[in-house]
Amino acid sequence: MFLDNRFDLWSPDSTRLTLLFDPGRVKTGLVAHNAMGRALKPEQHYQLVVDTTAKDADGCGLGSNFRKAFEVTKADYTAPDIDSWTISQPGKDSKDALAVDLNGPMDHVSLAYRIRVKAGTGQSVPGRIALAQQEQQWRFVPNQPWSHGPYQLVVNPVLEDVAGNRITGLFDQPLLARESTAQRLISVPVSLSRDD
């Protein structure tokens, strides 16, 4: 049984669906977690099975069952840290990609909607976003060549990693969120490399 979600959990190319476990089994301190523990245990092996009764967007079923084996790792208690990100310096007057190396895999939906490049005027720079290195790199290619700047990388503080941790705090400890950061967008200067 899947719950309706206000965000589309399919990847933009409709090849990947994000499944969410009941938060009551994930977050410590909640009744379901305290009574039954976590749904998955670290260092245990599991299988995700999608059978032929599952339907795609066109109402077609699978030709055969699909199985995906996986092993569970320890819980991730590391919040995204902008200070540890590495931002490339695209060439002035070029359409080089602005690449941001992140400090771990991030949620692809969050990356698509919660990072923007803005010009000194405050206007968003039109361009195309791509993800690389298994959601550990965010790439932006402008529609027009980079001008003299300045530019800012603007990050919404509710940006999440794959474990649901945000810049403002951990998924498992929402009451410890940094209030000052939670209320504002975060801007990071972007430098352009000089032509020699």
Q: How confident is the model at residue 69 (pLDDT cuts 50, 70, 90)?
A: very high
Find where tokens 């949620």 sit: 107
Residue 74 has pLDDT above 60, yes or no: yes
pLDDT of residue 53: 87
CA 112 – CA 128 distance, rounded (Å): 10
CA 180 – CA 160 distance, rounded (Å): 17
Contacts of 156 (CB under 8 A, 6+ apart): 113, 114, 115, 185, 186
CA 143 – CA 127 distance, rounded (Å): 5
Query: pLDDT digit string (tens) for 162-190?
Result: 888 888 888 776 555 454 444 456 777 78
Contact predicate 154/186, CB 8 Å: yes
* Weakest mean pLDDT among 41-50, 67-76, 175-184: 175-184
Query: pLDDT digit string (tens) for 51-63?
Result: 888 877 677 888 8
User: What are the φ/ψ torsions at residue 176 (nearest 5 degrees)?
Assistant: -95, 10
| 119-141 average pLDDT score | 92
| 113-121 average pLDDT score | 90
Cβ neighbours, 10 Å, residue 123: 8
pLDDT of residue 5: 64
CATH architecture of 82-190: Sandwich (2.60)
Cβ neighbours, 10 Å, residue 141: 14
pLDDT of residue 73: 85
Give me the chain's average pLDDT, please: 81
Virtual CA dihedral for 114, 120, 122, 128, nearest 10 degrees?
Answer: -40
Q: How confident is the model at residue 196 (pLDDT cuts 50, 70, 90)?
A: very low
CA 104 – CA 85 distance, rounded (Å): 10
**Which is more confident, 130 or 189?**
130
pLDDT of residue 168: 83
